[in-house]
Amino acid sequence: MQNLQSQITQDNNTVFEESFQDQYTQYHYHCYEQELEELGEFCWEVFDESMNIINKENWCNMEMVLRSYSHLTECMDNSSMLAGCFYPNHVVEHLFMKIHQQYFSSCNNEEDLSDAPPGVVLVATLLPIALIPFIVYIVVWKSSLKY
């Protein structure tokens, strides 16, 4: 019985490894980067148009930019698939770096987030620590009960 389970496990692993290798060769050796760059330029243009609709002052407001950025990500994912490439890849990474430099380089998130008040930090730290002895007591109490 154990020999049969071992054989089934080995067969399943072999099938998994073979399908993974097929995927690797399908995408790795047939990635048309030139086509991906051209499709990426199309995605850039669509993103650029949507960002021009949003005022430049609102480019750092994630609520206003999120939909356009999500469409860009989806466009690049689909473009990678059409070009036979893995997603993400260095072509997509390069495009996103250019987009972040052009549109989001002046955004500073550190000023947007402030530290939590000390009381909140203290409670959030001590509450879980204080619950540990109580949980240990319940576990010991339940284990000492006889059915």
Clarify whether residues 42 and 100 are in a common domain: yes
Clarify whether residues 40 and 23 are in a common domain: no
DSSP E strands: which ranges in 1-147? none
Clarify whether residues 86 and 52 are in a common domain: yes
- Domain count across the chain: 3
**Which two structure tokens, joined as six digits, stand for 147?**
């059915």
Clarify whether residues 79 and 101 are in a common domain: yes
Clarify whether residues 61 and 89 are in a common domain: yes
Phi-psi region of 6 (alpha: psi -120 to 50; beta: other; left: phi over 0): alpha
| CATH number of 42's domain | 1.10.150.510
The CA distance from 8 to 15, in Å, is 10
Clarify whether residues 26 and 37 are in a common domain: no
Clarify whether residues 102 and 77 are in a common domain: yes
Clarify whether residues 40 and 21 are in a common domain: no
Clarify whether residues 61 and 15 are in a common domain: no
Clarify whether residues 140 and 84 are in a common domain: no
Length of the chain: 147
Tens of pLDDT, residues 21-72? 444 444 445 788 999 999 999 999 999 999 999 888 888 888 889 999 999 9
Tens of pLDDT, residues 59-116? 888 888 999 999 999 999 999 999 988 888 899 999 999 999 999 888 875 555 578 8
Is the entire prediction scored with pTM above 0.75?
A: no
Query: What would the 3-class secondary structure string for 45-109 be?
Result: HHHHHHHHHCCHHHCCCHHHHHHHHHHHHHHHHHHHHHCCCCCCCHHHHHHHHHHHHHHCCCCCC
Clarify whether residues 49 and 82 are in a common domain: yes
Clarify whether residues 40 and 86 are in a common domain: yes
Domain that holds residue 10: 1-30
